[in-house]
Amino acid sequence: MNTATPQRRRERIDRGIKVRSDGLYALMSWRELTYLIAPRAALIIGLLVLPLVMPGAYWQRVISIVCIYALLALGFDFLAHHVGLVSLGGAFFVGAGGYISAILNTQWGWSPLAAIPAATIAGGVLCTTLLLPCLPLRGVYFAIVTLMYPLFLARVIEALNILGGTDGIMGVDSFPGAWVEQYTVIVLLLSFLFGIRRLVHTDLGLVLRAVKDNDQAVKASAMNISHYKALAVFIASAIGCLAGACLVHIYMWAGISVFALDFSVLPIAATVIGGSGTLVGPVIGCLILVPASELLRDFGTLRIVFYSLILLGFITFRSEGVMVYGQRKYQQFERWKMI
């Protein structure tokens, strides 16, 4: 039957250069090599150059904060979209890492460069141990329990008046210098970003994705899913603790506010905006969101309104995110086709 108006649909086709550079043959020509390397190089060089082009110490500090949030968002994205455990408790990791590093530094006199790695490992172990009983929980239940942990710890510290109580721990040493600080967090961010990207394509990453998609099948293959989940939580929480440890040394202070909801909500917003599951997306999301919220600092709490509205808009209307959109435009073209 003929319809009166000609029907058409849009079809998406991979670009030729994308197909050519998929396999080993990419090595045969500079064009294909450039096509592959350009986006990655842009990110790496861009991040490394960023502190040099920033006007003034204030904006350089903002870059450090961007990297801190990006590390958190990276951990969230890895855990949520490659293992299937949605943790709304970024603040829990930040708080654990931050307090441990602050205590190591102020009580035991460790230098920041020793206290941060120690806090990363110790915090990862601590968070994994505390989350271990919740690992069998799925979906919304795991999300709720992880959301409650940082609130709980903050109230306990407040109520028992331990670890400095509401005043927090003062006098934490800062990094040896502003440049050391920035390049430490930037290099850490880049190495974890590419490390995790590598990790999800190894055999371990495959098993973790299988845990997300069909845990019964993983169990049937005689693999202990709790073991793999615990490992993934350790990786993500260690990254979060690293972020927290760097944060307290940047602010030279650890207090209850490291358990603040900001550290749980902003990384999630960044992940949603940047593109879930791409691992690079969250970093890009942070590069957009954190400076935007700094620019809006004059408006007080209005900036939270602003970024929660952006989050709402993205999650309900454009849930694919910037990165997935960009990737599609880079790799595919679209054309109309008559049918």
Tokens matching residue 67: 């990297």
Closer Cβ to another protein, 57 or 160, answer by number: 160
CB of 228 to another protein, least distance (A): 11
10: phi then psi, degrees, rounded to nearest 5: -95, 135
Tokens matching residue 60: 């350089």
CB of 306 to another protein, least distance (A): 9
Look up tokens 């939270």; give the residue.
304
Closer Cβ to another protein, 109 or 139, answer by number: 139
Closer Cβ to another protein, 138 or 201, answer by number: 138
Q: Is the dihedral of CA 136, 196, 287, 331 positive or negative?
A: negative
Closer Cβ to another protein, 88 or 100, answer by number: 88
CB of 173 to another protein, least distance (A): 31
CB of 14 to another protein, least distance (A): 28
Closer Cβ to another protein, 113 or 302, answer by number: 302
Closer Cβ to another protein, 81 or 249, answer by number: 81
CB of 21 to another protein, least distance (A): 34
Provide the binding-site residues for another protein, judged by CB under 8 A: 80, 86, 88, 133-134, 136-141, 143-145, 148-149, 151-152, 155-156, 158-159, 215-216, 219, 225, 265, 268-269, 272, 299-302, 304-305, 308-309, 311-312, 315-317, 319
CB of 156 to another protein, least distance (A): 6
